[in-house]
Amino acid sequence: MDGLVTAVIQDYTSGRVLMVGFMNEEAFRKTVETGFATFFSRSRNKLWLKGESSGHRLVVKEISTDCDRDALLIRVEALGPGVCHEGYLSCFARRLENGEWVIREARAYDPETVYRSKQ
């Protein structure tokens, strides 16, 4: 995938999977060096420190890789109320129920308030 690996972000305490991002070598190095998860944004084509706008940074607790070495599992302490830019605790808020994607949880924060003056 053009030098990108999949990075699965999991809450260290609850075990909940929070999001999936992509890292290139530089993003991975930044993540290890700074202790904050840093991704490569495919849409913006640049490095992206998670939480640089919202303050909701991801503090790295443990990094694992898989047998193919094309995916990372990063267990984190998530700063702030939620990881998803839509206001949810996890980006995986939509569950499949009888063929439809349904959200069964409340927003953890109001994204309008958090992002309004920052983007």
Number of residues located near a copy of itself, criterion CB under 8 A: 31
Residues 19 and 7: their CA atoms lie apart, in Å, by 8
6 lies in the site for a copy of itself, by CB under 8 A = yes
- Kind plus residue range of the DSSP H or E element containing 92: none
Contact mark string toward a copy of itself, 71..100, x via CB under 8 A: x-x----------xxx-x--xxxxxx----
The DSSP code sequence of 93-114 is -EEEETTEEEE-S--SS-HHHH
User: Please, are residues 19 and 10 in contact by the beta-carbon 8 Å criterion?
Assistant: no
Stretch 13-72 residues interacting with a copy of itself (CB under 8 A): 14-17, 19-20, 32, 62-68, 71
> Which residues in this chain contact a copy of itself in the complex, by CB under 8 A?
1, 6, 8, 10, 14-17, 19-20, 32, 62-68, 71, 73, 84-86, 88, 91-96, 101
